[in-house]
Structure 1
Amino acid sequence: MLEIVTAHEPAVRLGAFIGVAVLVGLWQTLAPRRPARSSVLWRWSNNFAITLLNTLMLRLLFPLLAVGLAAIAAERGWGLLNIIDIPFPLALLVALIVQDLVIYAQHVMFHHVGLFWRFHKMHHADIDFDLSTGVRFHPVEIALSMLIKLAVVLLLGPPVVAVILFEVILSSLALFNHANAGLPPRLDRIIRKIIVTPDMHRVHHSVIRAEHDSNFGFNLACWDYLFRTYRAAPEAGHEGMTIGLDAYQENRRQSLLWMLLLPFRRG
């Protein structure tokens, strides 16, 4: 099974992305948590266009992505997990957990370091919250994130399959926890003890600064509990909260060009 995942990495990642996007799209269409404030067609066209642009950019700027570097690291014995002798299942588990912790730490950094926030705020400027928000990231942020991932691969030496599985998990849960939908309250309280749910992550997209500087996790919920960045719910409730950033509430037609130029605007 793991050999199949490794041998067909692009197809596995694309298939998982499309499959999860369809399921989450159906879920939020049949049971939306909040009414849309802007045109869904317009937002999806531009938000998914930025995803396509990011994919092409990564292939051009980083011909050696994290998966390829992990394969080279394994061949040459680079990285901690390629130096120490531990069982493969344990190495796989450690690699998945460490990669997730790094993504959490990166997310916190992108909020609190001004230069990085200029690019990350494009993700938060969306005035609605649905699965397309989960793929809306500025190309510069995606490039910086890839550099961090490459550094982690070099230092940690994760198994190739761990890098592939983590990318599949990351993209799938980003779609899930940005869904304009909600789990039954009792089920949500149970699941959010393990992974980030839509109601848990939606707080992070509140217009209130103290709320959008909380709930940084994308996959495992434990980091927010451990580092005390967890907030249970928005002050105004999920139906009453305002999504986005104060400065961009009136920009309802956020085009692809508008998003790309946002970090370079004043304010």
Structure 2
Amino acid sequence: MTEPFIRLVFFLGTLGLMLLWEWRRPFRKFPEGKTRRLARHLGLMILNSGIARILSGGGAYFAAAFAFERHWGLLNQFALPYGLSFVLALILLDFAIYLQHVAFHRVPLFWRLHKIHHLDLGFDTTTAIRFHPLEIVLSTYYKMALAIGFGLLPQAVLVFEILLNACALFNHGNARLPGSWERTIRLFLITPDMHRIHHSSYRLETDSNFGFSVPFWDKLCGTYCKRPHLGHEGMEIGLKEQRDPKLLDFWRLLVLPFR
């Protein structure tokens, strides 16, 4: 129970800080109330976590521990220093999640699941946990395969999962960073201004800024967008295909990919 408890503590701590920041320095106002959004998205996250745990047998951390004990995977075939193995695992996972995100946009079957995340008509830290259960299950299996195939250190996988959650909550924040701070931070970390562009209803912008932690993969792979063509204040959030909030409640989001 140690691994899920550690992740939960870091998640709740980061979520609390982000909600406080959004309350003190909100970037935009959206018509839907915060409490309702938080309840819906937390409900999705709890459902997703439970299903993923049941279907995966513990997730990427336990897959990595299983492979490590048996010396499976590429990195376990070499006598690498612990620090190097740790850093390589973080880099491999980070780039792999970037590629996964690109695939979920470009493969129509995957997009049917992932668009649940993009149908949010608002944009705040709770958007970071708004996903369809099947997408979470597929992502979990993907990370498990990476952990076993590359022989990733279990401790590195745990740290990566914590960073994945923390960075996602941060870069989905409906909060303001001072201009000079934002320009400096986005050089090495994805900021809310950078990721907000990814939630634009303009498809060229939706298909950009796929990274979740650092901006380097987008810049190296040509998917980086510096600013939205309508500006952050004028940019429309969500997808043009569905703008009715009454059709985006908890249960409809679950069945939407199958329609």
Alignment match, 2:61: 67
Alignment match, 2:10: 16
**How far, CA to CA, are the matches of 1:38 and 1:248 in structure 2?**
16
Counterpart of 2:232 in 1: which secondary structure?
A: coil
Alignment match, 1:46: 40
Q: Would you say how many aligned residue pairs link Structure 1 and Structure 2?
A: 259
Q: Which letter does structure 2 place at the counterpart of 1:158?
A: L
**Bigger shift: 37-46 or 127-136?**
37-46
C-alpha deviation, 1:166, in angstroms: 0.2
Q: Which residue of the other structure, out of 240, 245, 249, is the alignment partner of 1:251?
A: 245
CA contact (8 A) 1:126 1:133 kept: yes
1:139 matched to 2:124? The reply is: no
Q: Which letter does structure 2 place at the counterpart of 1:74?
A: F
Alignment match, 2:120: 126
Sequence identity percentage: 45
Alignment match, 1:199: 193
Alignment of 1:78-97 (within 5 A): 78-97=72-91
Q: Which residue of the other structure, out of 19, 23, 34, is the alignment partner of 1:29?
A: 23
Q: Which runs of 5+ in 2 are unaligned?
A: none
Q: Which runs of 5+ in 1 are unaligned?
A: 1-6
**How far, CA to CA, are the matches of 2:110 and 2:4 in structure 1?**
29
Alignment match, 2:146: 152
1:241 matched to 2:235? The reply is: yes
CA contact (8 A) 1:109 1:116 kept: yes
TM-score by length of 2: 0.97
**Aligned Cα root-mean-square deviation (Å):** 1.2
**How far, CA to CA, are the matches of 2:28 and 2:138 in structure 1?**
32
Alignment match, 1:56: 50
CA contact (8 A) 2:56 2:141 kept: no
CA contact (8 A) 1:38 1:252 kept: no
C-alpha deviation, 1:37, in angstroms: 2.4
TM-score by length of 1: 0.94
CA contact (8 A) 2:59 2:141 kept: no
C-alpha deviation, 1:222, in angstroms: 0.5
Alignment match, 1:225: 219
Runs of 4+ in 1 over 3 A off after TM superposition: none
**How far, CA to CA, are the matches of 2:22 and 2:201 in structure 1?**
22
